[in-house]
Amino acid sequence: MRLTKTPYEMLAQKLAVTEGQMADLRLAGDLTVAAFFSADKAEGTRDPTQGLAEKFRRAQERVTDLELDEELQRTVFALKAGPREFAPSTGN
C-alpha cells in the first residue's frame, strides 16, 4: 500500500475552511451554556435559551448585523469572565 503525501498548504487551507464552518457551531454551543448559567430559576420567567436562540437565528439570517453579532459575542465573553470560570470554546 502506497501512502501519498498531502502538501502542508492544502491541509492548512482545509483546516481553515473547517474552522470557519465550525465557528457558528461553537458560538451556538457557548450561547447555550451562557443561557444555562444565566437562567433565573424563578418560575414564570422566560427561558433565556429561547431569547439567545432567537438572536442567534437572526444573526445567521442577517450576517451583516454587526451589532447583533457583537451582542452575542459579549454574552459569551461575559460567561468567560463570570464567577464560574467557564472557558468557552476558542477554536484553537
pTM: 0.60
**Residue labelled with grid coordinates 501512502:** 3
Taking 70 as the pLDDT cut, the residues of the chain under it are 1-4, 39-48, 82-92
DSSP state of 46: P
Q: What is the pLDDT of residue 67?
A: 92
Q: What is the pLDDT of residue 90?
A: 58
Q: What is the pLDDT of residue 91?
A: 56
- Rounded to 5°, angle at Cα 12 from 9 and 16: 140
